[in-house]
Amino acid sequence: MKWLDRFAGRCLIGLARILTGAYANWLGCKPEAQQRLYFANHSSHLDFLLLWAMLPPSIRYQTRPVAGADYWGASKLRRYLIHRVFRGVLVERARPSAGHNPLAPLQAALDAGDSLIFFPEGTRSLDGEMQAFKGGLYHLARDNPEVEFVPVRMENLNRVMPKGNLLPVPLVCILSFGTPVTLAAEETKPAFLARAREAVLAMMPKH
């Protein structure tokens, strides 16, 4: 990564922190150099930037956000940001063929030793209510038992940058990192996905 790409990343991180006042709560794990897949609720285009920003520089640049190829390939600026600044892993959300495996780029990144930022809902929620997790998280956990799967709860992002809004609304955001979730022996896909989703929901603040 060139110095200009790093500089652009630092500028974006600084801007995101100013706009959101975001801070991290490491509740169930520590920010350390362990290969991980961070999975979180998804409500705005700021989500992966803020999660990426909460990681220490020593592990941030080995952690790659998973993002939709249709959105991030739509302009030259977006392509620069996702490839050069974030080193993102792009997925085709509309399968080009019946045999296409959308998880193949993610598996290649994990095989290379990278960590990932992943949103198992597959799309942003409209009202902040977390949707059911899609099956990709289960398949990645099954095929990568050596990787830590860390749940992350992102609070207030749906109000800072609601779907359809062009400008953010200043509001403090909290990112809570929970205890890694491990696929149990003989655990079914529905059971694992429900348990992983509950691990994110459990970190909601009590009112």
Query: Could you report the per-residue pLDDT of 88-112, keeping only the tens digit for each?
Result: 999 987 766 667 788 999 999 999 9
Q: Give the chain's largest Cα–Cα span.
A: 48
Secondary structure (3-state) at 126: coil
Residue 97 phi, psi (nearest 5): -155, 160
3-state secondary structure of 31: coil
> What is the predicted pLDDT for the residue at 22?
85
Query: Which of 50, 60, 29 is CA-nearest to residue 182?
Result: 29
pLDDT at 181: 97
Average pLDDT over residues 48-64: 93
Q: Which residue spans within 2-143 are E strands per DSSP?
A: 23-26, 36-40, 63-68, 89-91, 115-118
Top pLDDT among 21 and 178 is at: 178
DSSP 162-198: -TT-SS------EEEE-PPB-PPTT--HHHHHHHHHH
Domain ranges of the chain: 3-201
Which CATH architecture group holds 3-201? 3-Layer(aba) Sandwich (3.40)
Q: Residues 105, 84: contact at Cβ < 8 Å?
A: no
CA atoms within 13 A on the CB side of 79: 5
pLDDT at 157: 62
Cα–Cα distance between 103 and 91 in angstroms, integer?
8
Q: Residue 39 has what pLDDT? A: 97
For the segment 127-153, what is each residue's pLDDT rounded down to a tens digit? 667 889 999 999 999 999 999 999 999
Pairing of strands 89-91, 63-68: parallel
Answer whether 120's CB lies under 8 Å from 137's CB: yes
Q: What is the pTM of this model?
A: 0.89
| CA-CA-CA-CA dihedral for 72, 175, 7, 83, to nearest 10 | -20
- For the four alpha carbons of 190, 137, 173 and 54, in that order, the dihedral sign comes to positive
Question: What percent of the chain stands above pLDDT 90?
Answer: 62
Query: Is 88 in a helix, a strand, or coil?
Result: coil
Q: What does the pLDDT read at residue 172? A: 72
CB 126 within 8 A of CB 163: yes
Check if the beta carbon of residue 154 is closer than 8 Å to that of residue 45: no
Is residue 65 packed enough to be buried (19+ CB in 10 Å), middle (13-18) or exposed (0-12)? buried
In the predicted structure, residue 125 carries a pLDDT above the cut 70: no
Can you read off the two tokens belonging to residue 166?
Answer: 């062009």
